[in-house]
Amino acid sequence: MEPSPLPLLRRQDVSLLTPPGESEQSRTAVSPSAHDAVPAPTAARERLERLLRRLLVDASQWAAVFAAVVAVVGTDAGEDVVDLCHSVWASRESLRIASTLSPSRRHDVIMPQYMATLAHNLFATSLAYFWSDIAFITLQRARGRSPHLWAGRLIHHIIQTVANGPVLLIGPGRAQRVMSAYLGLAYTAEISTICLRISRLLARLQRLRRAKSGGWLLELLGRANHRVLLVTFALFRLVNFPLCGRLIRRNRAELPPHVADMHIGFASVGYLINVGWFIKLARGSGGSRNN
Protein backbone atom coordinates (compact mmCIF):
# COMPACT_ATOMS: atom_id res chain seq x y z
CA MET A 1 0.00 0.00 0.00
CA GLU A 2 6.74 3.35 -8.56
CA PRO A 3 9.50 5.33 -8.95
CA SER A 4 10.81 3.88 -12.19
CA PRO A 5 8.73 2.90 -15.22
CA LEU A 6 8.11 -0.79 -15.65
CA PRO A 7 8.84 -2.64 -18.92
CA LEU A 8 5.98 -3.98 -20.98
CA LEU A 9 4.84 -7.56 -20.72
CA ARG A 10 6.71 -9.94 -22.95
CA ARG A 11 4.61 -11.70 -25.54
CA GLN A 12 4.87 -15.01 -23.70
CA ASP A 13 3.51 -13.35 -20.52
CA VAL A 14 0.25 -12.31 -22.20
CA SER A 15 -1.17 -15.70 -21.30
CA LEU A 16 -0.98 -14.67 -17.65
CA LEU A 17 -3.84 -12.27 -18.27
CA THR A 18 -6.10 -15.15 -19.28
CA PRO A 19 -8.52 -16.05 -16.47
CA PRO A 20 -7.72 -19.38 -14.79
CA GLY A 21 -8.99 -22.42 -16.61
CA GLU A 22 -9.43 -20.47 -19.84
CA SER A 23 -7.12 -21.14 -22.76
CA GLU A 24 -7.07 -19.83 -26.31
CA GLN A 25 -8.89 -22.99 -27.39
CA SER A 26 -11.49 -22.73 -24.65
CA ARG A 27 -12.30 -19.16 -25.65
CA THR A 28 -13.23 -20.36 -29.10
CA ALA A 29 -15.03 -23.47 -27.90
CA VAL A 30 -18.80 -23.71 -27.80
CA SER A 31 -20.18 -22.41 -24.50
CA PRO A 32 -21.75 -25.00 -22.22
CA SER A 33 -25.49 -25.24 -22.31
CA ALA A 34 -27.51 -23.41 -19.70
CA HIS A 35 -28.43 -26.58 -17.79
CA ASP A 36 -24.71 -27.50 -17.44
CA ALA A 37 -23.64 -24.16 -15.97
CA VAL A 38 -23.61 -23.58 -12.21
CA PRO A 39 -25.90 -20.64 -11.30
CA ALA A 40 -23.91 -17.62 -10.10
CA PRO A 41 -25.67 -17.36 -6.69
CA THR A 42 -24.99 -21.05 -6.04
CA ALA A 43 -21.31 -20.72 -6.94
CA ALA A 44 -20.96 -17.64 -4.73
CA ARG A 45 -22.65 -19.42 -1.82
CA GLU A 46 -20.35 -22.41 -2.21
CA ARG A 47 -17.28 -20.15 -2.21
CA LEU A 48 -18.52 -18.45 0.96
CA GLU A 49 -19.12 -21.78 2.70
CA ARG A 50 -15.67 -23.09 1.72
CA LEU A 51 -14.05 -19.87 2.88
CA LEU A 52 -15.80 -19.91 6.26
CA ARG A 53 -14.78 -23.52 6.83
CA ARG A 54 -11.19 -22.67 5.90
CA LEU A 55 -11.12 -19.65 8.21
CA LEU A 56 -12.55 -21.59 11.15
CA VAL A 57 -10.01 -24.40 10.73
CA ASP A 58 -7.08 -21.99 10.36
CA ALA A 59 -8.26 -19.84 13.28
CA SER A 60 -8.45 -22.96 15.45
CA GLN A 61 -4.87 -23.84 14.49
CA TRP A 62 -3.65 -20.34 15.33
CA ALA A 63 -5.45 -20.57 18.68
CA ALA A 64 -3.76 -23.89 19.40
CA VAL A 65 -0.33 -22.42 18.59
CA PHE A 66 -1.06 -19.44 20.82
CA ALA A 67 -2.16 -21.68 23.71
CA ALA A 68 1.05 -23.70 23.41
CA VAL A 69 3.25 -20.59 23.42
CA VAL A 70 1.36 -19.01 26.32
CA ALA A 71 1.89 -22.17 28.36
CA VAL A 72 5.64 -21.57 28.05
CA VAL A 73 6.15 -17.79 28.15
CA GLY A 74 2.88 -16.37 29.53
CA THR A 75 0.02 -14.46 27.94
CA ASP A 76 1.63 -11.04 27.31
CA ALA A 77 4.86 -12.39 25.86
CA GLY A 78 2.91 -15.08 24.02
CA GLU A 79 0.90 -12.47 22.14
CA ASP A 80 4.08 -10.82 20.90
CA VAL A 81 5.80 -14.10 19.99
CA VAL A 82 2.87 -15.44 17.97
CA ASP A 83 2.29 -12.05 16.33
CA LEU A 84 5.99 -11.95 15.42
CA CYS A 85 5.69 -15.38 13.79
CA HIS A 86 2.66 -14.22 11.78
CA SER A 87 4.46 -11.05 10.67
CA VAL A 88 7.61 -12.89 9.56
CA TRP A 89 5.59 -15.41 7.56
CA ALA A 90 3.26 -12.79 6.03
CA SER A 91 6.22 -10.56 5.11
CA ARG A 92 7.94 -13.41 3.29
CA GLU A 93 4.78 -14.33 1.36
CA SER A 94 3.97 -10.73 0.45
CA LEU A 95 7.50 -10.17 -0.86
CA ARG A 96 7.17 -13.30 -2.98
CA ILE A 97 3.96 -11.90 -4.47
CA ALA A 98 5.49 -8.46 -5.03
CA SER A 99 8.52 -9.96 -6.79
CA THR A 100 6.32 -11.67 -9.40
CA LEU A 101 3.98 -8.81 -10.28
CA SER A 102 3.94 -8.31 -14.03
CA PRO A 103 3.94 -4.83 -15.62
CA SER A 104 0.92 -3.99 -17.72
CA ARG A 105 -0.09 -0.81 -19.58
CA ARG A 106 -3.69 -1.43 -18.63
CA HIS A 107 -3.26 -2.13 -14.92
CA ASP A 108 0.20 -0.77 -14.00
CA VAL A 109 0.89 -4.22 -12.52
CA ILE A 110 -1.04 -7.45 -12.33
CA MET A 111 -0.38 -10.66 -10.45
CA PRO A 112 0.43 -13.67 -12.66
CA GLN A 113 -2.04 -16.52 -12.48
CA TYR A 114 0.47 -19.04 -11.12
CA MET A 115 0.69 -16.97 -7.89
CA ALA A 116 -3.06 -17.10 -7.26
CA THR A 117 -2.89 -20.04 -4.84
CA LEU A 118 -0.08 -18.49 -2.78
CA ALA A 119 -1.92 -15.17 -2.58
CA HIS A 120 -5.17 -16.88 -1.58
CA ASN A 121 -3.38 -18.80 1.17
CA LEU A 122 -1.75 -15.62 2.48
CA PHE A 123 -4.97 -13.64 2.63
CA ALA A 124 -7.03 -16.51 4.10
CA THR A 125 -4.51 -17.74 6.69
CA SER A 126 -3.67 -14.21 7.80
CA LEU A 127 -7.35 -13.30 8.12
CA ALA A 128 -7.88 -16.43 10.20
CA TYR A 129 -5.10 -15.25 12.52
CA PHE A 130 -6.84 -11.90 12.98
CA TRP A 131 -10.15 -13.67 13.64
CA SER A 132 -8.48 -15.82 16.28
CA ASP A 133 -7.25 -12.60 17.91
CA ILE A 134 -10.82 -11.26 17.87
CA ALA A 135 -11.92 -14.42 19.71
CA PHE A 136 -9.10 -14.00 22.21
CA ILE A 137 -9.96 -10.34 22.88
CA THR A 138 -13.66 -11.19 23.25
CA LEU A 139 -12.86 -13.94 25.74
CA GLN A 140 -10.53 -11.71 27.75
CA ARG A 141 -13.02 -8.86 27.86
CA ALA A 142 -15.74 -11.27 29.01
CA ARG A 143 -13.42 -12.20 31.89
CA GLY A 144 -12.97 -8.55 32.81
CA ARG A 145 -9.45 -8.22 31.35
CA SER A 146 -8.15 -5.69 28.84
CA PRO A 147 -5.57 -7.04 26.37
CA HIS A 148 -2.96 -4.56 25.16
CA LEU A 149 -4.56 -2.01 22.78
CA TRP A 150 -7.56 -4.30 22.35
CA ALA A 151 -9.82 -1.64 20.80
CA GLY A 152 -7.24 -0.67 18.17
CA ARG A 153 -6.68 -4.32 17.34
CA LEU A 154 -10.39 -4.86 16.78
CA ILE A 155 -10.53 -1.86 14.44
CA HIS A 156 -7.55 -3.20 12.51
CA HIS A 157 -9.11 -6.66 12.21
CA ILE A 158 -12.36 -5.19 10.87
CA ILE A 159 -10.43 -3.22 8.26
CA GLN A 160 -8.46 -6.32 7.30
CA THR A 161 -11.64 -8.37 6.96
CA VAL A 162 -13.06 -5.79 4.57
CA ALA A 163 -9.78 -5.83 2.62
CA ASN A 164 -9.31 -9.60 2.41
CA GLY A 165 -12.92 -10.74 2.12
CA PRO A 166 -13.69 -9.60 -1.45
CA VAL A 167 -10.54 -11.06 -3.02
CA LEU A 168 -11.24 -14.40 -1.30
CA LEU A 169 -14.87 -14.47 -2.43
CA ILE A 170 -14.83 -13.04 -5.93
CA GLY A 171 -13.61 -16.20 -7.64
CA PRO A 172 -10.90 -16.67 -10.30
CA GLY A 173 -10.47 -14.01 -12.96
CA ARG A 174 -8.87 -10.70 -13.83
CA ALA A 175 -10.48 -8.77 -10.96
CA GLN A 176 -9.13 -11.27 -8.45
CA ARG A 177 -5.58 -10.87 -9.78
CA VAL A 178 -5.84 -7.08 -9.77
CA MET A 179 -6.99 -7.11 -6.12
CA SER A 180 -4.31 -9.65 -5.22
CA ALA A 181 -1.66 -7.36 -6.71
CA TYR A 182 -2.42 -4.29 -4.61
CA LEU A 183 -3.38 -6.26 -1.51
CA GLY A 184 -0.17 -8.31 -1.76
CA LEU A 185 1.82 -5.07 -1.96
CA ALA A 186 -0.07 -3.67 1.02
CA TYR A 187 0.82 -6.77 3.06
CA THR A 188 4.50 -5.77 2.96
CA ALA A 189 3.50 -3.49 5.85
CA GLU A 190 4.02 -6.58 7.99
CA ILE A 191 7.78 -5.98 7.62
CA SER A 192 7.51 -3.00 9.94
CA THR A 193 5.35 -5.04 12.32
CA ILE A 194 8.31 -7.37 12.82
CA CYS A 195 10.22 -4.45 14.32
CA LEU A 196 7.22 -3.47 16.45
CA ARG A 197 7.04 -6.94 17.96
CA ILE A 198 10.81 -7.07 18.50
CA SER A 199 10.68 -3.71 20.28
CA ARG A 200 8.11 -5.02 22.78
CA LEU A 201 10.07 -8.22 23.38
CA LEU A 202 13.30 -6.26 23.90
CA ALA A 203 11.55 -3.90 26.32
CA ARG A 204 10.32 -6.90 28.30
CA LEU A 205 13.84 -8.37 28.41
CA GLN A 206 15.26 -5.00 29.46
CA ARG A 207 12.93 -4.90 32.47
CA LEU A 208 14.11 -8.35 33.48
CA ARG A 209 17.78 -7.42 33.09
CA ARG A 210 17.43 -4.22 35.12
CA ALA A 211 16.34 -6.34 38.05
CA LYS A 212 19.58 -8.31 37.72
CA SER A 213 21.79 -5.36 36.63
CA GLY A 214 23.31 -4.83 33.21
CA GLY A 215 21.22 -4.81 30.05
CA TRP A 216 23.30 -2.29 28.06
CA LEU A 217 23.37 -4.61 25.04
CA LEU A 218 19.58 -4.84 25.04
CA GLU A 219 19.35 -1.05 25.16
CA LEU A 220 21.71 -0.81 22.20
CA LEU A 221 19.67 -3.35 20.25
CA GLY A 222 16.51 -1.51 21.19
CA ARG A 223 17.78 1.79 19.77
CA ALA A 224 18.97 0.09 16.57
CA ASN A 225 15.64 -1.71 16.18
CA HIS A 226 13.77 1.57 16.66
CA ARG A 227 15.69 3.18 13.80
CA VAL A 228 14.93 0.23 11.53
CA LEU A 229 11.32 0.43 12.63
CA LEU A 230 11.02 4.08 11.57
CA VAL A 231 12.55 3.36 8.16
CA THR A 232 10.43 0.28 7.44
CA PHE A 233 7.28 1.93 8.78
CA ALA A 234 7.77 4.95 6.52
CA LEU A 235 8.67 2.86 3.47
CA PHE A 236 6.15 0.02 3.66
CA ARG A 237 3.24 2.01 5.08
CA LEU A 238 3.49 5.74 4.43
CA VAL A 239 5.02 5.37 0.94
CA ASN A 240 3.64 2.00 -0.10
CA PHE A 241 -0.01 2.54 0.84
CA PRO A 242 -0.54 5.51 -1.54
CA LEU A 243 0.94 3.40 -4.34
CA CYS A 244 -1.59 0.68 -3.53
CA GLY A 245 -4.34 3.31 -3.54
CA ARG A 246 -3.20 4.42 -6.99
CA LEU A 247 -3.54 0.85 -8.24
CA ILE A 248 -7.10 0.69 -6.88
CA ARG A 249 -8.07 3.92 -8.61
CA ARG A 250 -6.40 2.93 -11.89
CA ASN A 251 -8.34 -0.35 -11.91
CA ARG A 252 -11.79 0.77 -10.73
CA ALA A 253 -13.32 -0.40 -14.01
CA GLU A 254 -12.05 -3.95 -13.38
CA LEU A 255 -13.49 -4.16 -9.85
CA PRO A 256 -17.03 -4.41 -8.52
CA PRO A 257 -18.01 -0.80 -7.66
CA HIS A 258 -18.76 -1.55 -3.99
CA VAL A 259 -15.41 -3.31 -3.58
CA ALA A 260 -13.47 -0.41 -5.09
CA ASP A 261 -15.29 2.09 -2.87
CA MET A 262 -14.73 0.00 0.29
CA HIS A 263 -11.06 -0.58 -0.43
CA ILE A 264 -10.38 3.08 -1.19
CA GLY A 265 -12.32 4.20 1.91
CA PHE A 266 -10.74 1.77 4.34
CA ALA A 267 -7.29 2.27 2.82
CA SER A 268 -7.65 6.00 3.50
CA VAL A 269 -8.66 5.36 7.11
CA GLY A 270 -5.78 2.93 7.55
CA TYR A 271 -3.33 5.44 6.12
CA LEU A 272 -4.43 8.16 8.54
CA ILE A 273 -4.05 5.70 11.44
CA ASN A 274 -0.54 4.84 10.27
CA VAL A 275 0.39 8.53 10.03
CA GLY A 276 -0.67 8.98 13.64
CA TRP A 277 1.32 5.93 14.73
CA PHE A 278 4.40 7.09 12.87
CA ILE A 279 4.29 10.44 14.69
CA LYS A 280 4.14 8.58 18.02
CA LEU A 281 6.99 6.30 17.00
CA ALA A 282 9.13 9.21 15.85
CA ARG A 283 8.61 10.86 19.24
CA GLY A 284 9.76 7.68 20.91
CA SER A 285 6.38 6.74 22.34
CA GLY A 286 5.69 3.84 19.95
CA GLY A 287 6.59 0.20 20.13
CA SER A 288 3.06 -0.94 20.82
CA ARG A 289 0.96 -3.40 18.95
CA ASN A 290 -0.34 -1.68 15.86
CA ASN A 291 -0.07 -3.87 12.82
3-class SS of residue 109: strand
In angstroms, the Cα distances linking 157 to 83, 107, 230 are 13, 28, 23
- With 0-12 / 13-18 / 19 or more C-beta atoms within 10 angstroms meaning exposed / middle / buried, residue 181 is buried
State mean pLDDT over 125-145. Answer: 95
Average pLDDT over the chain, rounded to an integer:
83
**285 falls in which pLDDT band (50, 70, 90)?**
low
Provide the CB-side half-sphere exposure for 99 (13 A, CA): 7
- Give the pLDDT of residue 291: 45
Q: What is the percent of the chain with per-residue pLDDT over 70, rounded to a whole number? A: 81
pLDDT value of position 39 = 63
Answer whether residue 214 shows pLDDT above 90: no
- pLDDT score recorded for residue 216: 76
DSSP 202-270: HHHHHHHHHHHS--HHHHHHHHHHHHHHHHHHIIIIIIHHHHHHHHHHHTGGGS-HHHHHHHHHHHHHH
215 φ/ψ sector (left φ>0, alpha ψ -120 to 50, else beta):
left
d(CA 12, CA 35): 36
Q: pLDDT per residue over 92-121, tens digit each?
A: 999 999 999 888 777 778 888 889 899 999
Q: Percentage of the chain surpassing pLDDT 90?
A: 59
Mean pLDDT of 272-279: 92
> 152 CB contacts (<8 Å, ≥6 apart)?
289, 290
Q: What is the pLDDT of residues 229-268, one digit of tens each?
A: 999 999 999 999 999 999 999 888 889 999 999 999 988 9
Q: Is the pLDDT of residue 12 over 80?
A: no
Q: Helices in 74-215 by DSSP H: which ranges?
A: 75-100, 116-142, 150-169, 174-186, 190-212
Return the pLDDT at 40.
67
Per-residue pLDDT reduced to its tens digit, 166-193: 999 998 888 999 999 999 999 999 999 9
